[in-house]
Amino acid sequence: MENIITSQDLKLYYGNFEALKGITVELAEREITALIGPSGCGKSTFLKTLNRMNDLVPGVRVEGQVLYHGQDIFAPEVDVTQLRKNVGMVFQKPNPFPMSIYDNIAYGPRLHGTHSKAELNDLVERSLRGASLWEEVRDRLKKSALGLSGGQQQRLCIARALAVQPDVLLMDEPTSALDPASTIRIEELMAELKKNYTVVIVTHNMQQAARISDKCAFFLLGEMVEIGPTEQIFSMPRDKRTEDYITGRFG
């Protein structure tokens, strides 16, 4: 499988604080990679670096490289809007815009220049189907997205991200604000998404990581301790620290 994103000795500083201490990792196409580790270990920071959402934080400085299809995403000629179009993001708390379901999904395509009604209709339906939300909302597309349940809102946000046709989806604890039933639906959805997209997910839930991911990366204090096939990480981690974390000795 081809590597879609590669980070090479990626270091990130908030002011003088070194939040990422040289992360080298390869993310293969059409796989789910779970980033695990205790709070403050840098996994979310790393995730947000992959589509440069960290640019928004004042005082952030990055060293090293992140390659997307071989292109350095920090290169001066890179258009960050194009990067984010290709590397989409789903956030911890569902954040639908205060507009209709339809307009939420159409937001991205419109932003990137799609205005034809037929094309938008098609994209909206495909994206909602892709996020397995279509059947639930097909007859109320013009209603406000804020009226949906939390789980539906999160799937809407996934659909919204799909609508701009990315090939990578970054998910920052996408189910931590949801109830168990909604969580299961999202997990099932991720298994579907894997067929067409590369997914990177940050999760605090060990069972979730074990259930859904192909690879697992363990972060600790700004370092990536270990990455490997999920099964191996959970059954025979190479590093003592990984084992301690997974068996619940700290966290």
3-state secondary structure the chain: CCEEEEEEEEEEEECCEEEEEEEEEEEECCCEEEEECCCCCCHHHHHHHCCCHHHHCCCEEEEEEEEECCEECCCCCCCHHHHHHHEEEECCCCCCCCCEHHHHHHHHHHHCCCCCHHHHHHHHHHHHHHCCCHHHHHHHCCCEHHHCCHHHHHHHHHHHHHCCCCCEEEEECCCCCCCHHHHHHHHHHHHHHCCCCEEEEECCCHHHHHHHCCEEEEEECCEEEEEEEHHHHHHCCCCHHHHHHHCCCCC
Least distance (Å) from other proteins to the CB of residue 217?
22
Judged by CB under 8 A, does residue 84 bind other proteins?
A: yes
- 155 vs 160 by CB, closer to other proteins: 160
- 156 vs 216 by CB, closer to other proteins: 156
Least distance (Å) from other proteins to the CB of residue 108?
4
Judged by CB under 8 A, does residue 16 bind other proteins?
A: no
Least distance (Å) from other proteins to the CB of residue 56?
7
142 to 181: interface string for other proteins, x by CB under 8 A: ---------------x--xx--x-----------------
The residues of the shown chain that bind other proteins, judged by CB under 8 A, are 51, 53, 56, 58, 80-85, 88-89, 91, 93, 95-99, 107-108, 111-112, 157, 160-161, 164
